[in-house]
Chains A and B, each alone.
Chain A
Amino acid sequence: MKEEGNLENRPSNTAFTQQRLPAWQPMLSAGVVIPGFLVIGLAFIGIGVGLLITSRSIQVLELDYTGTETNSPCNKCTTLPIQNNCVCKLNFTIDTLFKGPVFFYYSLTNYFQSQRKYGASLDYNQLSGDLTYFKSPASDCDPYRYANGKPIVPCGSLANSMFNDTFKLYQIVNGKENLVPFDGKGIAWWTDYNIKYRNPDYSPLENAFNDTEKPVFWSKPAYKLDTSDSSNNGFVNQDFLVWMRRAALPNFRKLYRRITEGDYKDGLPVGNYSLEISYNYPVKSFDGTKKATFSNVSWMGGQNEFLGIAYLAIGSMCVVMSVVMLIVYAKFRFPEDD
């Protein structure tokens, strides 16, 4: 027998070593579970209803201008070669006031912007204005890295395939076409045109692009993307930035312009409109479609039926579950209590 003071191997008596840490031990019971499910279900239903109402209040106008149908005004452009600046006009009527601000999107379907090789085919260093990468773009850009022996700037598939249809909207008032002003500012992310994409410090910008080649698919070089606003050129061109922010899914829309100015600040009034499209972008090869979309927005962005319906469905499921649990509980418990 050893003395009390001589117990070298005695374990220490702490809450941790003796596994007696103070703890809260909640017990799931019918009294918690059934009301819990009911409350969560009702909350989800509430959110769902709110979302659905909001979503229904949003006006959306989608105009397919792919031109696959023979009666479509753009049908003629699908048969022509791509370079052949084809212009087609879509006429449409707005019956009720399209509340502003109205956002104008172009939509593509069956277009795999999320393809890995496609999405990775760019050079962030080049796009952030580093001139060394103007001369030798990253190998990721293949096969759009060099053309005619000169480096392509901006290189890569993603930039090369930039959407190049342009749109003009006219309101037809008494047979006259009134141009609806489009606002192309601020449609890209602030971080994109301030940090992520930078033009090289060159003025004029054009000189930075000496000894480089424009992307194969492009009709004009990067420094001439916007002829009307010199600051909207190069890599910080808003349309370019919108395009470069890849879509996750094959069906997507991208913001083209906002209608926020002049007479159309409060929306598109009732009337006949004509959308003039310069049809450049081929989609027939991959069975895609192109749409022009007008939409106004709410706190939850654009129209989104799915979210509201999903919330409603899951919420109702929870409510049903709590009712079933209540029945089971009653059946199971009360015979015992008798």
Chain B
Amino acid sequence: MVTEDSPSGFTWEVRANSPNYHRARQKKSFLCFQWGRYAGNAVHSHKYSPLSFLPLTLFEQFHRAANLYFLLMVVLQCVPPISSIPWYITMIPLLVVLSVRASKDLANDMARRRCDAEVNSRRCDVLLSHRFGATQWKDLCVGDILRICKDQVIPADLLLLCSSEPHSLCYVETADIDGETNLKFRQALAATHSHLGSCPSEGALAAFDGVVQCEEPNDRLYVFRGHLLWRGECHHLENEHVLLRGTVLRNTDRAYGLVVYSGGADGVFCVAGADSKIMRNCGKMKLKRARTEQVLNRVVIGIVLCLLLAALLLAVGSGVFSGVVMREAGPLSALVFNGDPAYTAFLVYWSYIILLSPAMPIALYITFEVIHSVHSRFIGWDLELYWQPGDRPAQARNTSLNEELGQVGYLLSDKTGTLTQNRLLFRQCCIAGEIYGDASVRAEDVEPMDLSWNPFSRGGLHMSAPSLVEKLRGRRCPASRRFFRALALCHTVMAEWKDDSPVYQAASPDEEALVGAARELGWVFLRRSRDCVVVSELGVSRQYQLLALLDFSSRRRRMSVLVREPGGALKLYCKGADIVILERLQRNAAHLDRTERALQVFSVACLRTLCVAVRSVPEALWEQWRETLDLVAAMATAERDAQLEQLYDEMERDLQLLGVTAIEDRLQDGVPETICLLRRAGIKVWVLTGDKKETAINIGYSCELLDPDARLLDWQDVRQMLQSPDPQVGFLKAGQTALWAAGREDAPAQLSLVLTGPELAEFEQRPEWGGPFMSLARQCQAVLCCRVTPAQKAEIVKLVRKHTNAITMSIGDGANDVNMIKTAHIGVGVAGVEGGQAVQNADFGLSQFRFLQRLLLVHGRWSYRRISFFLRYFLFKTCSFALVHVWFGCFNGFSSQSLYETWFIALYTVLYSAAPVMCLAVFEQDVSAEASLRQPELYGGGQQQQLSGPRQLGLCLLHAVYTSLVFFFVPFGVFNNTAYDYQTMALTVAMAATFTASAEIVLLTKYWTRFSVAAVCVSVGMFFICSRITHSGRLFQRSPSDYYFLGVSEVAFADPVVWLTALLAAWTAVLPSFSAHAFSAVLMAPDHHKVHSSAPQTAEMSSTFRRRSTMRRSSYAVSQGEGPGRIITSAVSTRNARTSKPTEAPSAAGRTMPHERHL
């Protein structure tokens, strides 16, 4: 039975061609109950069915505390003894909010449903009773045998049985899974290949009765373990035998596969429905919440608690009052006719909770959401963030973080692909100690060589070395020929033929650059199969037998191929980081000194270097080595990797150095300017990279992250300071030393930290260093972390988050940045060369690093201001409006009598004061976009939370309390002991509240569009119009108890005292905020006006953006992670530690270097 553990521990069993066996055990579900074992292949990513929509959406919406709170209010209002305002006053807005959300969810769900239907109805060929017939994806079942044609998407996780290609190879593109656009190959088992693949007949496939036993469905994309039991034999299965759902078949006419895990995903509540690996991987993204929202939530909870307290006090008052009144008989004693004071107080308590609940308005959250999505739209709409070459606008994927963009304190950036273009150009090489090419010429200015003799040349070589071409074509220099042969052979690039020339698909851009350069110079990689590589060498096509491919891994930092040359000789070609290659060379290697010098030259020019070497392998050694390899490869244990590595290491010995390649990694446009601007805005920029230290430092200088005058502190310095009792003292000392070293007393100490991954690992043991470290780092100009792993990047982000309360932002472009993008408050993905994974996981997607300036300084700053003003205003408006009841309570026997007409309560937040604040939250600009970029210092306000801090919110609430006092006591003074009735007073207070709300918004709005003007006018107008309507006789006659304010507005609006009172109350209420604004206007420094002037400050700009060199290049370290299986990426160059000396970038002379300490 399938549930039994088989001896091997594999519990998942799939029997080929036995649909009845699997269908009986198909997974079924009803509501949240499930049974069955094998999932179907249909995707159900939609949540709702017509029946379940209403209950589910309500269930979800009442998960939110706010909605639940309002529901409670509605319920309370329906209880007659405590209902102080009619039930519909809260019910109508609540219904609106719920239905808006529900329709939004429904629209999303319909879109998902359509998308699912499209996927589910895709066709593929399934073997049904000895014939292949087209079937829809959703009808596939585990155990079916499929036929996949070229360029088809694979519908489920398949075991590859055979393909139309030799050796049953097939190529897949995994862009949808890992974002890598290169091709990967998969291969069928030799057994199935030989029996089924020779002539893939339908009969043979239909007769296939193998049983696959493997792991339970899991989410590990790169691991598959299991075996195939067929014809009494047990075949070991691995990842390379499996085609995953979502990948695309390329370069292969046909592939046949057995469905192992079917791919369907069931609704959201029964996530376990999906078996395929990709579906197991699409876990829910953790929802990030903006800090402002958290503050808001806390404030709202605070307000609610205050209201509960106020209600309690008022209820006590009510108990006392009714007790006093009840003592004596009289006209009023009837009120507590047969009640007892405690019971009255109990009822009044709930009544007051209802009456005060508008202080926390239901509209706040929904409006908040609307504003956020408008701000996100603005980001997507911005033409300045649109990248025309890629036709990509900016994306705001998470629509709740906009205001955080205006508060960023730390920017943690990836280097490769983010600061640099990840467009690699082969610029120089060193063969046999001789350097070819000149890196001091800009890549665009390189004179193209005449390569017309080469029919495969497609251009794109930015190197000019006619002497090299001459040597190659003249067949004079065997070393250079072997060098390019090595480049053409030693790689994992796939060639796809288009228009009679090969197009290279590489896992890393480095390899593409190298193979491309070899192609340009005459060594053209034509195609590869499983065991041979065909290369055209200066027009002569030669086939090399591929014996072994020694994988790249980030630990090995090299890769090799073992080939049998057409002549029969065995050769090992190896390329890798200089430090690993140089130590594996033969003794007394030739040209070593000159090569090391060349390495240094390349490194100074910020080029990524790679050493290429060769070894002639004796036949006997190969035979012996192969036997061991076969043995080790057959092992299915965890030690296998270690043993393989050791085995590879044995082969990569006694190398003969061929040469060094030098590749330029270009900086993206505008990187130095952007970093400079962000730093002026007070944002600390940290660069986290997998690169080696020297390259990272060089790139730090070239993108102006590090100042030439800055002193670089390394881990030794930092550790000394951290170990000293008072880190600050040590830090100051270091700062003074730097000053002294720079010989400039006037400049502030410029310090930068340069750390490496292994050093950072010490933090794991010493968590108590985090705080002091961050306080040191805070005073540093920049922090560079080199040699860090993706996990460490995330750890660094966590460290910053833990020890500062600043907002962190991570930006990166590759799959290795996903972790840090998810960890930071805000994650930005750069849509670059490395596929879309970073953007998929990011909150914002940009096309260029330089767009960050506009995203942060313009959109972020505006959003922060708009949302802060919006929140403060909203809280002020609603609190001042609702708190009036507390004061009024003291004059109506604490009876929870409302001071407003119920319709005013309902319409105030919706009609009379909503539109202007919406306009403010959408249109407000205190300074223009240009001025924001010109004056990055303005950004500091957001970082310090000048507008949304607790103090600001506290002041705002205090103002609200003051205003509510004014609202009540000014009319109280006027109407006390007069013949004015309650309804006139209610209208007067309502008028004052409307005037105050409008006056406050007029004060806050600095950017008056025609919409803002209209909104204010309409809001005030609406108050008068709606008052007249709700006080009209017609409505009263329809429902006397709902419109009993009949005729009040007619009388009151004609009474000068009402007007004078409302005006006086409104002006008194806004006097504090008007005075505050007035004083700040008076105290404002005259030069602040300059922000608004349009004259560009050219002098300052030119001095800030001084270019150190016209050439900006980067140096290099590992750019890609390990590929799955045999996907190999370029290796690294690190200079040998022996030869390592402090390196200076050519233009940054005179700065203090880390090793020249002046202590």
Instruction: Please list the residues of chain A having a beta carbon within 8 angstroms of any beta carbon in chain B.
Output: 1-2, 6-13, 17-19, 21-30, 32-34, 36-37, 40, 44, 47, 51, 105, 107, 109, 111-119, 121, 124-125, 128, 138-139, 142-144, 157, 160-161, 189-192, 195-196, 217, 245-255, 281-283, 285-286, 299-302, 304, 306-307, 310-311, 314, 317-318, 321, 325, 328-329, 332-333, 336
Contacts and interface: CB of A to CB of B under 8 A. Distances in A.
A245 B983 contact: yes
B327 to A, nearest CB: 8
Interface in B967-1013: 970, 972-986, 1006-1012
A160 B334 contact: yes
B983 A25 contact: no
B881 to A, nearest CB: 17
B1008 A23 contact: yes
Interface in B1007-1027: 1007-1012
B61 interface: no
A248 B981 contact: yes
B896 A2 contact: no
**Nearest 6 pairs of A and B residues by beta carbon:** A191-B1047, A161-B331, A285-B330, A285-B328, A124-B1040, A17-B381
Main secondary structure of the interface of B (DSSP, over half): helix
Interface stretch (B44-52, B625-633, B1080-1088): B1080-1088
Contacts of B1041: 124-125, 138
A24 B974 contact: no
Contacts of A37: 1078
B806 interface: no
B381 A18 contact: yes
A192 B335 contact: no
Given A10-B393, A25-B1008, 15 more contacts: A2-B389, A18-B382, A19-B925, A25-B1006, A29-B1084, A33-B1077, A119-B982, A125-B1041, A189-B1047, A251-B977, A281-B331, A301-B1055, A310-B1064, A317-B1071, A328-B1083
A157 B333 CA distance: 10
A33 B1081 contact: yes
A8 B386 CA distance: 12
Contact of B1033 (A27, A142, A195): A195
B1092 A11 contact: no
A252 B335 contact: no
B124 to A, nearest CB: 30
B338 interface: yes
24 contacts: A9-B392, A10-B383, A10-B386, A22-B1010, A25-B1008, A26-B1006, A30-B1082, A44-B1067, A112-B892, A114-B888, A114-B892, A115-B332, A115-B895, A121-B335, A125-B1040, A144-B334, A157-B335, A161-B331, A191-B1033, A252-B977, A285-B333, A286-B325, A301-B1055, A302-B979
B30 interface: no
Interface in B322-358: 325, 328-335, 337-338, 351
Contacts of A304: 974, 978, 1057
Given A23-B1008, A248-B980, A285-B330, A116 B1064 contact: no
A257 B613 CA distance: 117
Contacts of A285: 328-330, 333
Given A19-B929, A25-B1006, A191-B1050, A307 B978 contact: no
Contact of A128 (B325, B388, B1040, B1061): B1040
Contacts of A47: 1060
Interface core residue of A109, A111, A325 (most chain B CB under 10 Å):
A325
Contacts of B381: 11-12, 17-18
Contact of A248 (B378, B982, B1046, B1086): B982
Interface string B149-164: 0000000000000000
Nearest to A144: B334
A246 B1086 contact: no
A135 B972 CA distance: 40
Contacts of A247: 980-982
B891 A114 contact: yes
Nearest to A110: B332
Interface core residue of B970, B1050, B1082 (most chain A CB under 10 Å):
B1082
Contact of A195 (B929, B1037, B1071): B1037
A44 B1067 CA distance: 10
Contacts of A125: 1040-1041
Contacts of A196: 1036, 1040, 1044, 1046-1047
B567 interface: no
A7 B391 contact: yes
B319 interface: no
Contacts of B325: 286
Nearest to A306: B973
Interface string B1034-1055: 0011001100101100110001
A19 B978 contact: no
A246 B982 contact: yes
Given A7-B388, A30-B1081, A119-B897, A286 B970 contact: no
B406 interface: no
B923 interface: yes
Interface core residue of B325, B1064, B1079, B1080 (most chain A CB under 10 Å):
B1064
Given A124-B1044, A286-B330, A18 B383 contact: yes
Interface residues of B, number: 92
A116 B897 contact: yes
Interface string B1100-1125: 00000000000000000000000000
B380 interface: yes
B929 A1 contact: no
B332 A112 contact: yes
A306 B978 CA distance: 12
A122 B979 CA distance: 21
A167 to B, nearest CB: 16
Contacts of B1036: 195-196
A311 to B, nearest CB: 6
B391 A116 contact: no
A31 to B, nearest CB: 9
B1056 interface: yes
A23 B927 CA distance: 12
Contacts of B1044: 124, 196
B833 to A, nearest CB: 15
A2 B983 contact: no
A2 B883 CA distance: 60
Interface core residue of B976, B979, B1078 (most chain A CB under 10 Å):
B979
Given A21-B923, A124-B1044, A253-B979, A307 B333 contact: no
Interface core residue of B331, B390, B1086 (most chain A CB under 10 Å):
B331
A195 B1046 CA distance: 8
Interface core residue of A23, A118, A301 (most chain B CB under 10 Å):
A23
Contacts of A307: 973-974, 1057, 1060-1061, 1064
B292 interface: no
B1082 A25 contact: no
B897 A114 contact: yes
B923 A1 contact: no
Contact of B389 (A1, A254, A301): A1
Nearest to A114: B892
Contacts of A192: 1047
Given A195-B1037, A249-B976, A33 B1078 contact: yes
B1040 A9 contact: no
B338 A190 contact: no
A40 B1063 CA distance: 12
Contacts of B1086: 333, 336
A238 B166 CA distance: 108
A11 B383 CA distance: 6
Nearest to B378: A19
Given A18-B382, A23-B1008, A285-B330, A10 B1078 contact: no
A248 B378 CA distance: 49
A173 to B, nearest CB: 30
Nearest to B925: A19
A62 to B, nearest CB: 10
